[in-house]
Amino acid sequence: MSPAEEEKSLPLPERWPRASKFALSACAAAVAELVTFPLDLTKTRLQVQGEAAVGRGGAARGRPAPQRGMLRTAAGIVHEEGLLQLWQGATPAIYRHIVYSGVRMVAYEHLRDSVLGRAEDESFPFWKAVVGGMSAGAIGQFFASPADLVKVQMQMEGKRKLEGKPLRFRGVHHAFMKILSDGGIRGLWAGWVPNVQRAALVNMGDLTTYDSVKHFLLLNTPLVDNSVTHSVASACSGLVAAVLGTPADVVKTRIMNQPRDCQGRGLLYKSSMDCLIQTVQGEGFMSLYKGFVPTWMRMAPWSLVFWLTYEQIRRICGVSSF
């Protein structure tokens, strides 16, 4: 049998390992996103509470809007907008994860196995895991930033309708085209800096923690590579990711949701640092953790669903464990 024939006879994951891992991670992320998306919408609405009432330097713009907690925000969305509105923006969110999760997972494994390298005992040193996780997250999020921008802005459409403001978008495609028309290519990457910063922190919590905890358990406890180990590692990764990522997520959400001029420049914040300063001055430091509970409550099940699904479909498709 010739080398070409031998290659064709190999299973698909062995012929195109990176493409296979990209597809599998995208599928797992889509499942996790659909299951937990209502919590993401609730988190986004919580994070923009208060910004309309606070001007530059912390000065009040007008009568503050009533503040709601997580449960009241979610219940309010269902009561005022309808149950299905809890999934408003889910389509661009899935588009985003096809790019984001696919790229970050492939990039992390490539960095771990081929660039940074494992130790002799097959462990992956923690500092290398941090570098790999942050780098993979940043790369993945940069490419996925336009879809994330559309997702955030579409999540706010229901709120605009209740406030009597005209809706900005008729759908996902219209949102992409309108943002492109109003701000050009630059407009599609509005807020990419805090977006990438957040992704780096989140993946230091998610990828780094999951990989480190999983392999620590396998090397130092009687646990084997099964769903129990995956569940413990994913629970740890979800908590750490929420703690590290929430402040950057608040800044990212506000940057991406702000109105823009014809050149794509924000009208409320000059930069992510300006947004950070205004938020802390106007609403206090803990405002950076607005939406932490739904963020964590979403990241925990998201991580659980994603990692369990990802590990299982890798096994079913004949790809080695992560």
Does 322 map to a domain?
no
Does 6 map to a domain?
no
Does 266 map to a domain?
yes
Q: What's the CA gap between 5 and 38, in Å, rounded?
A: 49
Give DSSP secondary structure letters for 167-181. P--SSHHHHHHHHHH
Does 1 map to a domain?
no
Predicted local distance difference test score (pLDDT) of residue 56: 46
Does 226 map to a domain?
yes
Q: Which residues pair with 60 in a beta bridge?
A: 54
The CATH number that applies at residue 182 is: 1.50.40.10
Number of separate helices (H) and strands (E) present in the chain: 13, 0
CB neighbour burial string for 136-162, b if at least 16 within 10 angstroms, e if fewer: bbbbbbbebbbbbbbbbbbbbbbbeee
Does 96 map to a domain?
yes
Mind listing the pLDDT tens digit for each residue in 65-118?
556 777 888 888 888 888 888 887 788 888 888 999 999 999 999 999 888 888
Q: How many structural domains is the chain composed of? A: 1
Does 165 map to a domain?
yes
Q: What's the CA gap between 302 and 96, in Å, rounded?
A: 15
Q: What's the CA gap between 278 and 67, in Å, rounded?
A: 18
Angstrom CA distances, 216 to 91, 211, 230, 295, stand at 36, 8, 12, 26
Mind listing the pLDDT tens digit for each residue in 250-266?
887 788 778 777 776 77
Does 3 map to a domain?
no
Domain assignment of residue 132, given as a range: 13-56+67-316
Below-50 pLDDT ranges, the chain: 52, 54, 56-63
